[in-house]
Amino acid sequence: MDIISQLQEQVNTIASIAFNTFGTLQRDAPPVRLSPNYPEPPAPAPAPTAAANANANAAAANPTTEESPNNNISETPKLLSAELVKAAKQFDALVAALPFSEGGEEAQLKKIAELQAENDLVGQELQKQLEAAVDVD
């Protein structure tokens, strides 16, 4: 895979990690009061059935006490940011591997013009060969 494709792939990886990081932080962040003057939200409507109330009360009475590494709120941002920094460093390494252009912008523009002229000549030759092939048929 060429260096430009690797750079594009790494940019996609960084975007994906950032998207997942923001989504995870948004999903898992504890609620925070915006202002002490902000009113309390209304109480939720009661459940329509007694069975639903019993299930809700049982779930509230028995919260899960085990915390897996994926559910640990204080560690998740550190892990996600470390992954994002690692991807950014890989991107920087790919950028550093790009060849350095000698001569500056003017030399690059001159080289582009030369390549474009060469491309035009090859295109004209190809067109002539195509027309000659059509004439033979």
Write the DSSP string, 14-74.
HHHHHHHHHHHHHHHPPP--S-TTSPPPPPPPPPSSHHHHHHHHHHHHS------GGG-TT
Domain span holding position 35: 3-99
Is there a single domain that holds both residue 88 and residue 24? yes
Is there a single domain that holds both residue 107 and residue 121? yes
How many structural domains is the chain composed of?
Answer: 2
pTM score, whole prediction: 0.52
Is there a single domain that holds both residue 8 and residue 71? yes
In the numeric block, the tokens 């329509």 are attached to 48
Q: Are 88 and 14 in contact (CB under 8 A)?
A: yes
Is there a single domain that holds both residue 66 and residue 123? no
Is there a single domain that holds both residue 81 and residue 114? no
**pLDDT tens across the length of the chain (137 residues):** 888 999 999 999 999 999 999 999 889 888 777 788 887 767 777 656 655 555 555 555 544 444 444 457 778 889 999 999 999 999 999 999 988 777 788 888 999 999 999 999 999 999 999 999 988 86
10 three-class SS: helix
Tell me how many helices (H) and strands (E) the chain has. Answer: 4, 0
How many Å apart are CA 83 and CA 25, to the nearest integer?
Answer: 14
Is there a single domain that holds both residue 24 and residue 41? yes
